[in-house]
Amino acid sequence: MGLAPSWSFRAPVRLAVGRGVRRGLADAWRQQWIVVSSRRGRDQIERDPWLRAAVMGRVTRWVDDVRANPQRDWLRTTAERLRPGWNESCAFLAVGGGSAIDAAKGLAAILAVPPRVSLDMLIEDPSLLSSSETVSPVVAVATTAGSGSEVTPFATVWDAMTGTKASLSHPRLWPQSAFVDADLMDGLPHDVTLATGFDALNQAAESTWSRRASPASLELAGRALEVGLPAFEALAVAPGVGGSRAMPIHAVATPGPLDPRAALADASSLAGLAIAQTRTALCHAISYPITARFGVPHGVACAFTMAAVARHVAPADDGRLARLAVRLGLVDAGALAVRFDELLRTTGASALTRQKIGSLDALLRLRPAMATPGRADNVLRQADTNDLGRILTEAWMGGPV
């Protein structure tokens, strides 16, 4: 299949990316904030002079207990806590990674509809948001280079009780403004850099093999991998575990980035803009039950099958994977999968995933939960149950079987 003959593009967010751009936050919203963050995000606001100046004195409410993978119950109870005296002229200020930004979008959605409309109803039918008079704006300050949630209208809602995840998606959930400032990412712990960086790279790859890809999304995704891969390698590959490559995969040597944190921040926003157009695909569909059941961090769970899915889709390549490979200085699309295999090995991401899941059988048993329509089938080449088994087995073994 080739690209569709017509395409459209939508990204109604004022995005600023680069070191120091958080200074613009003071001008993003002149009224009161409801701040949504993790404890780390709150610490960053209190310690950083620019954030402090933009936020302090204008906070009506703090929601500073966001944890990884915002839960359905937490969203419900937090929204109920905010509802008395709710003032729609407030904006949500999300400071954190994808979880904080998704949480702010979820709260904005719940509070935009009457109390009789439950979160479950909103997830079932997001168009209920269309009739809301006001959806409070969300301003996002990203403190990780990962999900790209600051430039998408999607919010993920998790449910640990049932081991499932759902998506809230509506055009009114686009953040109004977003600031992606690598100054806030310096000193990020290695495990967080690894998980979030893998999410960004995987989203760029997923957007590339999406059936909804367009010339614009391919350009964004290609650029995300071009700047993001060497930056991620510089930050996340464990010292001394470098690549003894089994086969020559590089056509030309690619120089390392001067500022890997800033380059990865660029990559995460570019990848976010790409999936905002195409949505994510098979790796994400596979990842959700792995995260929900075994606690594997989202980005690692997505990346786990990235090489195997690249090999699966390669026979259906309409030229986009081959062009991406050349752009990355690789000899062909097969080399792309080899590079992903290497990355999963040298960062320890494969080993971590295997350790958390325990056995290949336990992984294969999750197959029915992985076949989610709209995502699992959003790939150049469809995967049936046998294909899925092969992809999971390859990912488990760390290479072709």
Cβ closest to Fe ion, residue 98 vs residue 222: 98
Shortest reach from residue 160's CB to Fe ion, in Å: 18
Site for Fe ion in 14-43 (CB under 5 A): none
Shortest reach from residue 4's CB to Fe ion, in Å: 24
Cβ closest to Fe ion, residue 197 vs residue 329: 197
Shortest reach from residue 46's CB to Fe ion, in Å: 29
Cβ closest to Fe ion, residue 199 vs residue 394: 199
Cβ closest to Fe ion, residue 48 vs residue 199: 199
Cβ closest to Fe ion, residue 181 vs residue 199: 199
Tokens 């290609």 map to which residue? 222
Cβ closest to Fe ion, residue 22 vs residue 105: 105
SS3 128: helix
Site for Fe ion in 140-199 (CB under 5 A): 199
Shortest reach from residue 366's CB to Fe ion, in Å: 18
Report DSSP state, residue 250. Answer: B
Shortest reach from residue 320's CB to Fe ion, in Å: 20
Site for Fe ion in 283-312 (CB under 5 A): none
SS3 203: helix
Q: Using only C-alpha atoms, what is the Rg of the chain?
A: 20
Chain centroid to CA 312: 22
Cβ closest to Fe ion, residue 177 vs residue 196: 196
**At what angle are helices 306-313 and 190-208 packed, to 10 degrees?**
10
Site for Fe ion in 228-287 (CB under 5 A): none
**Amino acid occupying residue 21:** V
Taking CB under 5 A as the rule, which mask of x and - marks residues 316-345 in contact with Fe ion?
------------------------------
Nearest CA-CA partner of 210 in 147, 277, 281, 269: 281
Judge whether 291 and 301 are in contact, CB under 8 Å: yes
H-only helix segments in 237-383: 260-278, 282-294, 298-303, 306-313, 320-327, 333-346, 349-357, 360-364, 367-370
Q: Which two tokens stand for residue 292?
A: 């929900």
Site for Fe ion in 191-210 (CB under 5 A): 199
Judge whether 285 and 371 are in contact, CB under 8 Å: yes
Instruction: Report the C-alpha gap between 395 and 179 in whole angstroms.
Output: 35
Cβ closest to Fe ion, residue 200 vs residue 321: 200
Cβ-closest position to Fe ion: 199
Shortest reach from residue 181's CB to Fe ion, in Å: 21
Cβ closest to Fe ion, residue 25 vs residue 201: 201
Chain centroid to CA 193: 13
Judge whether 164 and 126 are in contact, CB under 8 Å: no
Shortest reach from residue 98's CB to Fe ion, in Å: 7
Chain centroid to CA 229: 15
Shortest reach from residue 283's CB to Fe ion, in Å: 9
The residue count for binding Fe ion (CB under 5 A) is 1
Judge whether 179 and 25 are in contact, CB under 8 Å: yes
Shortest reach from residue 147's CB to Fe ion, in Å: 5
Binding site for Fe ion (CB under 5 A): 199
